[in-house]
Chains A and B, each alone.
Chain A
Amino acid sequence: MAEDSKTYAYFLGCITPNRYPGIEASTKKILKGFEIETKEMVGASCCPAPGVFGSFDMHTWLPIAARNLAIAEEMDLDIVVSCNGCYGSLQEANHLLIEHPKLREKTNEILSKFGKEFKGTTTVSHIIVVLHDVVGLDRIKENIKKPMNDVNVAVHYGCHFLKPREVRGHGSSETPYILEDLMKVTGAKIPEYKDKLMCCGAGGGNRTADSVQSLEWMRQKLVSAIESGCDCMVHPCAFCHLQLDRGQAEMEKAFGVFFNFPILFATQFMGLALGLSQEEVGLDKQTTTIPEKILK
């Protein structure tokens, strides 16, 4: 792929287009504003979820992921994603299939049944990496229309954006910096909080199989952010968004307490700072409500 390529194949996955389209809309609008084009991946499926399908049968997980990668290869484009699950799944599959020729051969045998082939010619990037490294912090800063100066943001990374670091390549998973950098250019404050690096509790099939346990886990994380004086949580993962936002309504049913702690995907928060309305980024139609302090 050309290094100065300004067009990405946008791999949507499931939660982004099918539950929180505001994540998709804000991602597309922001990239367009910075003259980066996104193309639809026609016929893409579930990534499929790495902790879920990877836990059940890796030999089914891999060809489904490879098929998605092959679609981008046919478009001759690199991939951008807006979910850590998609990032984890597609990047890991790409890595394994490039590293292990025998595995690639076996996978391509399956893909050949419908005329597809994994060649290893695409890369998988994440929207917050594109913003941080391709658009660049300076350019974002120049375009901030609504500074978030008095907003305290609890940064939540989720798991598969940073880990395993040997595949993801974003440095230490204990001292991450990409989301912090992006928040700082909006003017937001980023207080440390106890459970900052803790998982949202949803992954690995836990949300599906044991939702109350998974919600208790999330409750602890939210309490830790609230106790540190944070006004909202900003994160880079559509699946975490489902857990952290809708999960608060489920938590009300399970535990009888509604935090209404605002949850924003990174491009929704950045979108507001760049001048988009909450309607344009879909924040008016989710479980948690966004306070005036953030909307201005």
Chain B
Amino acid sequence: MGTLYEDIVAHGGEVFGEEHVETLRECVQCGKCTGSCPSGRNTALRTRKLFQMALVDLREEIFNAPELWFCTTCYTCYERCPKGVKTTDVIRTMRNLAAKEGHMSVPHRMIGVYVLKTGHGVPIGPDQMKLREAVGLESQPPTTQKHKDQLEQVQTIFRTTGYDAMIDFDWDTMNLKGMEKKGGK
């Protein structure tokens, strides 16, 4: 484990290319991100502050800050940053690192459960099948929820990347470990 900045460059760099996330270093603390932020209008999210905290290596403070999760990834600051900091991708990278170190809420982990069980973050139920029929569609779309062999491919991806372990998924109950068995959303 390096400094938070080094980890951001290493982890984010694997996906976006290092130059992309290294733009974090260009931040001059002008605050245009915060001024543009629709979340910051209502929440404690101060993107400028998060970036300064990242640059001075306040790893635990960032990972424990609820506002890290208040960004909706709307990209407004990304579009407007005068220094070309790839803001939203830096935030997503910091969230990835936080999640890896166990900072992930139960509702967020549950989205993974739905996808592991059905291939969909928002699965279909009987009521919605009726809605489909009412507009002249097949009661169920031909996606992973209908085709179990296809769902297994998605499950293979989760097993391979270790996402199942990251959210503490129990393959026996098909739910989070320690949670009562319950249906989809």
Same complex: yes
Residue ranges of A at the interface with B (Cβ–Cβ < 8 Å): 12, 14-15, 17-19, 21-22, 24-25, 40-46, 48-60, 62-64, 67, 96, 99-100, 103, 110, 113-114, 116, 159-160, 163-165, 173-174, 197-199, 201-206, 208-210, 213, 216-217, 220, 242, 279-282, 285
Contacts of B69 in A (CB 8 A): 55, 204-206, 209-210
In the complex with contacts A46-B119, A209-B107, A199-B74 CB distance below 8 A: yes
20 contacts across the A-B interface (CB closer than 8 A): A17-B141, A17-B143, A22-B135, A24-B137, A42-B143, A46-B120, A46-B121, A54-B92, A60-B157, A60-B161, A60-B163, A62-B15, A63-B161, A114-B156, A198-B38, A199-B74, A201-B38, A204-B73, A205-B108, A209-B105
For A216, give the chain B residue with the smallest CB separation: B42
**Cα distance, A101 to B40, chains bound together (Å):** 37
For A18, give the chain B residue with the smallest CB separation: B124
In the complex with contacts A55-B96, A203-B72, A217-B39 CB distance below 8 A: yes
Asked whether A165 lies within 8 Å of B79 as measured between CB atoms, the reply is: yes
Asked whether B111 lies within 8 Å of A282 as measured between CB atoms, the reply is: no
Most A-side CB within 10 Å, residue of B70, B73, B112? B73
| Residues B120-178 near A (CB distance < 8 A) | 120-124, 128, 131-132, 134-137, 141-144, 147, 149-154, 156-158, 160-161, 163, 166
Contacts of B12 in A (CB 8 A): 58
Asked whether A19 lies within 8 Å of B108 as measured between CB atoms, the reply is: no
* Interface: B60 (CB within 8 A): no
Most A-side CB within 10 Å, residue of B12, B91, B96, B122? B122
Q: Mark each residue of chain B from 64 to 89: 1 if its CB lies under 8 Å from any CB of chain A, else 0.
A: 00000111111110110000000010
**Cα distance, A55 to B98, chains bound together (Å):** 10
B115 to chain A, nearest CB (A): 5
**Cα distance, A280 to B12, chains bound together (Å):** 45
Residue ranges of B at the interface with A (Cβ–Cβ < 8 Å): 12, 14-17, 38-39, 41-43, 69-76, 78-79, 88, 91-93, 95-96, 99-100, 104-105, 107-108, 110-112, 115, 119-124, 128, 131-132, 134-137, 141-144, 147, 149-154, 156-158, 160-161, 163, 166
A106 to chain B, nearest CB (A): 8
Beyond the given A14-B122, A17-B143, please list 12 additional residue pairs across the A-B interface where CB-CB is below 8 A.
Answer: A18-B122, A21-B135, A25-B135, A49-B121, A50-B73, A54-B73, A55-B73, A59-B14, A159-B73, A199-B72, A206-B69, A217-B39
B52 to chain A, nearest CB (A): 21
Please name the 4 residue pairs, one residue from A and one from B, whose CB atoms are nearest each other, closest first.
A43-B150, A163-B75, A51-B73, A45-B119
A114 to chain B, nearest CB (A): 4
For B161, give the chain A residue with the smallest CB separation: A60
Contacts of A216 in B (CB 8 A): 42
Contacts of B143 in A (CB 8 A): 12, 17, 41-45
A197 to chain B, nearest CB (A): 8
**Cα distance, A160 to B161, chains bound together (Å):** 26
Contacts of B144 in A (CB 8 A): 43-45
Most A-side CB within 10 Å, residue of B38, B43, B123, B136? B38
